[in-house]
Amino acid sequence: MSDDLNARVGRLNDVLCAVNTLNWDARTQMPSGGAQTRGHQVATLMGIAREMILDRGMQDAVDAAGDDPAAVAVQEAINHHTRLPAELLRAQAEHATVAGAAWAQARETSDFALFQPHLEKVVSLARESAQALGYEGHPYDPMVQIYEPGETAASLGAFFDTLRAGILPVLDAARGRPAPRTDFLYRDYPPELQHRFAADTARALGYDFDRGRLDTAVHPFEVSFTRNDVRITSRWPRNYLPMSIFGSIHEVGHALYEQGVDPAHTRGAFATDMIGLYAVGGTSFGMHESQSRLLENHVGRSPAFWAAHFARLRDTFPQQLADVSEAEFVAAINRVEPGPIRVEADELTYDLHIMLRVRIEMALMDGSLAVADVAQVWREAMRDDLGVEITDDAQGCLQDVHWSSGYIGSFPTYTIGNATAAQLMAHFDATKPDIRAALERADTAPLRAALSDSVWQHGRARSRAQMLGALGAEANDPQPYLSYLKDKFTAVA
């Protein structure tokens, strides 16, 4: 990439890192009264970022660079933002912070009515974006492609239909088996001790605290300000221990991806999402999610992991876990127990939560569902899909932060991540048996090395399909994931 183009993209990355900083602050420590002005601040910076992309000098620098892959990525961003009006981008950025504050209040009071007008505006702005960007199939298509390039409502529908058909028989069989003991998961666990255990676990998994930190948020997230400052958050409910453990491990998976990007990509086109306007090194939300779900589930829920870490957990909570064996704990964290909360869902029911959200998003985008009916449709679907009765909005349609942030189209990437994680592990099992052998000793170093080589180092230089293709796998192949679920939950029984 030419020096001029590199310098221009570097400055763009700086602006987007400043946006990330403001968003991190808004979700961790900003006073509630700052929401409206924070929205203006973020919108101003997002507008500046768009202007930098569409500056004539940026186009000249791209033209001079020819077919350089980085220049191709910048050209795609120029084409995207040429179609998307500046006032629409500003409206979305301004509304996101205000809607986020309204969502937090609505969630706290379990009152969807407080959030409804804000979600109506989110959906309206998303529809405007879809119209501006253009589509041939479904208005959902251009929205999901912001987060997962190449996917459409049709491709996702086929992928989800296959997964659903494969998951439901395994779920039906699992529901008929005796449930493991879980009472100890709901005892009183002091938040400060949860935080300490999570930090120690993150460090053991390879998270570099010299380039990161662990904070508290209503909804756990990871955020990057280049590979040299990658922060994670979690939450610490006193009466449900798995949330802090697996929420933290999940975010560590995201963070390892960002910390593992090749240093040569720092501030460059392959560490900057110039279409979604994020300072992020991961190539797509789905590939990013594959790293967090791989670490959370394939590693963090394994018996081998807890053979090495349960004693430390019991030392942290000696009274709460005095009567609990390692085997009982492992059985409890791998139980199949349909519930209302996505981030607390077991592996077997998790994707049904995602499918519900995607159905709602598609219906909101094509107008077949009104925002006012979301809460009721949610309750009915949870009853039909999982046999779960939703008794309040906080445990229903208000549980996720995504819609308040304007992330219409991002939910499919969680299931894409689950499938991709299984594909990666299936490949490693077939080609690098030393990885599985090391995991049996709770040693994640060989796995991290393989992920660094296959995924992390490339940043955004390769797509998810290209990285999987290099391993002989095809994107959105559901079979490795279905095999993993079947094998695991047959074995658990």
Tokens of 291: 């790293």
Q: In this structure, what are the phi and psi dihedrals at residue 490, rounded to the nearest 5 degrees?
A: -80, -40
Distance CA 203, CA 245 (A): 13
Question: Radius of gyration (Cα) for the chain, nearest Å?
Answer: 22
Q: Determine the pLDDT at residue 493.
A: 44
Average pLDDT over residues 387-415: 95
Distance CA 488, CA 493 (A): 9
Distance CA 78, CA 71 (A): 10
Distance CA 23, CA 360 (A): 26
Q: Which helix (H) or strand (E) holds 75?
A: helix 69-83
Average pLDDT over residues 278-307: 96
Q: Is residue 112 scored above 70 in pLDDT?
A: yes
The model's confidence at residue 35, banded by pLDDT at 50, 70 and 90, is: confident
Residues β-bridged to residue 223? 231
Average pLDDT over residues 192-214: 98
Average pLDDT over residues 188-198: 98
Q: Which residue stretches of 213-321 are H helix?
A: 241-259, 285-293, 303-316
- Comparing 174-178, 241-245, 471-475, the range with the smallest average pLDDT is 174-178
Tokens of 409: 């189209």
Number of residues written out for the chain:
493
Closest CA to 354 of 392, 385, 395, 389: 385
Mean pLDDT of the chain: 95
Residues β-bridged to residue 224? 230
Position of tokens 């000793």?
A: 441
Contact 140, 409 (CB under 8 A): yes
Position of tokens 């990007």?
A: 261
The model's confidence at residue 176, banded by pLDDT at 50, 70 and 90, is: confident
Distance CA 133, CA 285 (A): 20
The model's confidence at residue 204, banded by pLDDT at 50, 70 and 90, is: very high
The sign of the dihedral angle between the CA atoms of 327, 328, 333, 335 is positive
Q: Determine the pLDDT at residue 491.
A: 62
What confidence tens digit (pLDDT) does each residue in 419-463 have? 999 999 999 999 999 999 999 999 999 999 999 999 999 999 999
DSSP type of residue 268 = S
Q: Please state the residue numbers annotated as binding site.
A: 250, 254, 289
Q: Determine the pLDDT at residue 2.
A: 82
Q: Which of the residues are catalytic?
A: 251
Tokens of 171: 């779920």
DSSP type of residue 183 = G
Q: Please state the residue numbers annotated as binding site for Zn(2+).
A: 250, 254, 289
What confidence tens digit (pLDDT) does each residue in 269-279 have? 999 999 999 89
Distance CA 75, CA 63 (A): 9
What confidence tens digit (pLDDT) does each residue in 315-371 have? 999 999 999 999 999 999 999 999 999 988 999 999 999 999 999 999 999 999 999
Contact 251, 234 (CB under 8 A): yes
Instruction: Estimate to the nearest angstrom the gap between the alpha carbon of 94 and the chain centroid.
Output: 22
pLDDT more than 90, % of the chain: 93
The model's confidence at residue 177, banded by pLDDT at 50, 70 and 90, is: confident
Domains of the chain: 3-138 (no CATH), 153-490 (1.10.1370.30)
Q: Determine the pLDDT at residue 69.
A: 95
Distance CA 274, CA 281 (A): 11
Closest CA to 414 of 294, 280, 244: 294
Q: Which helix (H) or strand (E) holds 224?
A: strand 222-224
Task: Give 199's Cβ-side CA count (13 Å radius).
Answer: 15
Tokens of 312: 């430390």
Q: Is residue 492 scored above 60 in pLDDT?
A: no
